[in-house]
Amino acid sequence: MSIEDNKKHHFNPVPKVQWVSVWEKIVTDQCPLKVWEKNQEKDAKDFSIKNYDEKHNVLTIYQKSTLINIFDQTKALNDQVILIKVNWANLQFFGSGVFHITNVKDEYQITLKSELFQCQQRSFLRLSINSGVPIKMKYMDKVYDLFDISGGGLSLILPASVDLKFTKGQEIIDLKVKVGSEQFNINKAQIVAVSDDGNRLKMAMKFLDLSENQLQDLLRKINIEARGAIILSQLNNEKKKAS
């Protein structure tokens, strides 16, 4: 697996039990929904989402009629399978469904298909503390819990009273990080962001001068743990659903 392979999008199916939560966040934040026919993403049209009907698995969407609406003009998409994409936070969600023209002006519905995919659009897949996998950093004989880690760097949140001083641009030498039970030696890293709200110190750093072997070993471990966490989460959700 080359470095370029890790710049691809990472797709994961969203468990059905999370669909309502996902769509509620997207609707609340008024994220635009892109709709297009297969192989025609360059002609995608933006819609706003009005609501998500969990019972019927239907999105109600609308589009202001300030311009000539191609869907009203041709009716070509009515009852046709379409693809959808929506950005929320640092994630993209992809799905498909059947497009319906309604009797309400500028309003449409999409009956969603059985799968919704989440795409983490990053250079490297990132493993978060929320995954349940222990991720730690050791520096100057002190051990810190990390907030997240990727093949490109890490971030952590410390008490503002921490006795070590960190500044943006500072280089960190001889850093050790632990993902699960496996430790990795990072010869050099650089702090790229530091913020202090008086109570917590948030910090992000990027790794410098990783060898190809070091990078591949770290990516391998992160990907294994991240995929395992996803599978475990899906199994737990299925158990809850069955109980």
* CATH number, domain with residue 226: 2.40.10.220
> For residue 219, what are the domain limits?
127-235
What pTM did the predictor assign?
A: 0.49
Residue after which a domain boundary falls, among 120, 148, 176: 120
- Cα–Cα dist 66/47, whole Å: 13
Q: Is 243 contained in some domain?
A: no
Please check whether residues 132 and 115 belong to one and the same domain: no
- Cα–Cα dist 233/61, whole Å: 30
Q: How distant, in Å, are the alpha carbons of 31, 207, 238 from that of 85?
A: 10, 32, 26
- Cα–Cα dist 206/196, whole Å: 19
Q: What is the pLDDT along the chain (243 residues), one digit of tens a residue?
A: 222 333 444 567 888 888 998 999 899 888 999 998 877 777 888 899 999 999 999 999 998 654 445 445 446 677 888 899 998 866 788 899 999 988 888 899 999 987 888 876 555 678 888 888 899 999 999 999 999 998 889 999 988 777 778 889 999 999 999 999 899 999 999 999 998 888 888 999 999 988 888 888 898 888 778 777 766 666 677 777 776
Please check whether residues 106 and 9 belong to one and the same domain: yes
The total of structural domains in the chain comes to 2
- Cα–Cα dist 49/34, whole Å: 10
8 A C-beta contact, residue 190 and residue 171: yes
Please check whether residues 107 and 173 belong to one and the same domain: no
Token pair belonging to 114: 């059985």
